[in-house]
Copies of this chain bind each other. A is one copy, B any other.
């Protein structure tokens, strides 16, 4: 029931907030700023088109709150860019194969492992958790992407990219597996541009792990993994039966649907290294150019100041927030409260969950909604007796300008919401 009611809330909220955002259409789309260390002006490669790729979930378990925050942040970016008049193609993938338990190309495929545990076909796991993911996205009123491709749907394209990388001498085969040769790549390009890592340090710092002996170098990463008959999820390739490496799908699907260089690539901060670094290496290696103009990463969640993690027992799931069914939650919160709460922080800052903060968000959200209802009434009341003087109108205009300025500054929803509160006072 909480969900059902909140759907109404959502609809209501969005009608209202969009009314506000539409009070004036953006005066200039050049005001949009993008940051990366130093902020840079946003200039799409091929305006008015914008290509945006966001790393989606690996569908082997319940979607966690960190995912919700990431996809909510990009939902705002997607909505705002469209509001500004851009024609956005938003691609968010579903990882249904290749994501191993450890970043070092070790351990089982997460989906295969879960399938064995639950005695199901891996595709049943994929289906169950993809459905669950979509339901959670819908609960938080996060728009669907324009294309939601999956790794399994692009096996052939992934094999082709591996062949290209091998032809360029950037990948090598060992026992039916293929690895990306990071040292070779680093001879002409720079590995680590995004995360600021230095290859030499990575090499010194890495332990020699089991199953790593096939690699020429511990920082090399799998493009294709050999898979014996015990594996259910495996496909034919020039190197025998196997499955694609996790990093590969994103390079393949982003370039297929957005071109070899596109505007925005996003994801959680935990993906910056090694996932996005490997994506860059693959794409630069295969296409000879940087794949992405603007990289955006969302920051982590904390609970009462502590890192949110399963082992600490402070990690609650989206549905627990909404039903209040977790020891750390004093009450259930509506999805719109959670959405509003998350937007009160900038996407690149850590976000701390606490009952006090959530309760304050519920109050703030209600205030905004009440204000919007009033504003709507005023707008439609053609009552001559209500006169707004020119000075007040100018002040309102100024605040609306500030709203745009705030959101144009690296999608700063925190500042934008603060401006909305100023607007309420008027």
Majority DSSP secondary structure for residues of A touching B:
helix
Which residue of chain B lies nearest to A148 when distances are taken between CB atoms in the complex? B127
Cβ B4 vs Cβ A121 within 8 A: no
**Which residues on B sit within 8 Å (CB–CB) of A332?**
none
Contacts of A146 in B (CB 8 A): 121, 124, 127-128
How many Å lie between the Cα of A4 and that of B10 in the bound state?
A: 12
Q: Which of A127, A150, A155, A257 has the most CB of B within 10 A?
A: A127
Interface size class of A (residues with CB under 8 A): 20 to 34
In angstroms, how far is the closest chain B Cβ from the Cβ of A311?
32
Which of B89, B160, B236, B257 is in CB contact (< 8 Å) with A156? B236
Instruction: Kindly state the separation between the CA atoms of A7 and B148 in the bound complex, as whole angstroms.
Output: 26
B127 touches A145 (CB 8 A): yes
Say yes or no: A89 contacts B121, CB within 8 Å.
Answer: yes
**Which residues of chain B are within 8 angstroms of A134 by Cβ–Cβ distance?**
134
Give A9-30 as 1s and 0s: 1 = Cβ < 8 Å from B's Cβ atoms: 0000000000000000000000
Cross-chain contact of A123 among B8, B124, B128, B257 (Cβ < 8 A): B257
Q: A4-B7, A155-B155 are known contacts. Are A123 and B149 too (CB-CB below 8 A)?
A: yes
Copies of this protein, total? 2
| Bitwise interface map of A from 219 to 239 toward B, beta carbon under 8 Å scored 1, else 0 | 000000000000000011000
Q: Are A156 and B153 in contact (CB under 8 A)?
A: no
A124 touches B147 (CB 8 A): yes
Among residues of B, the one whose C-beta sits closest to the C-beta of A146 is B124
Task: Given A4-B8, A121-B89, A153-B152, verify A147-B160 contact (CB < 8 Å).
Answer: no
A131 within 8 A of B: yes
If A4-B4, A4-B7 touch, whether A147 touches B131 (CB-CB below 8 Å) is no
A144 within 8 A of B: yes
From the candidates B89, B121, B145, B152, name the one contacting A257 in the complex (CB within 8 A).
B121
A124 to B126, CA, bound (A): 21
A-B pairs, top 7 by smallest CB distance, nearest first, are A153-B153, A123-B147, A124-B146, A152-B153, A127-B147, A131-B144, A156-B235
Which residues does A use to contact B, with CB under 8 Å? 4, 7-8, 89, 121, 123-124, 126-128, 131, 134, 144-150, 152-153, 155-156, 160, 235-236, 257
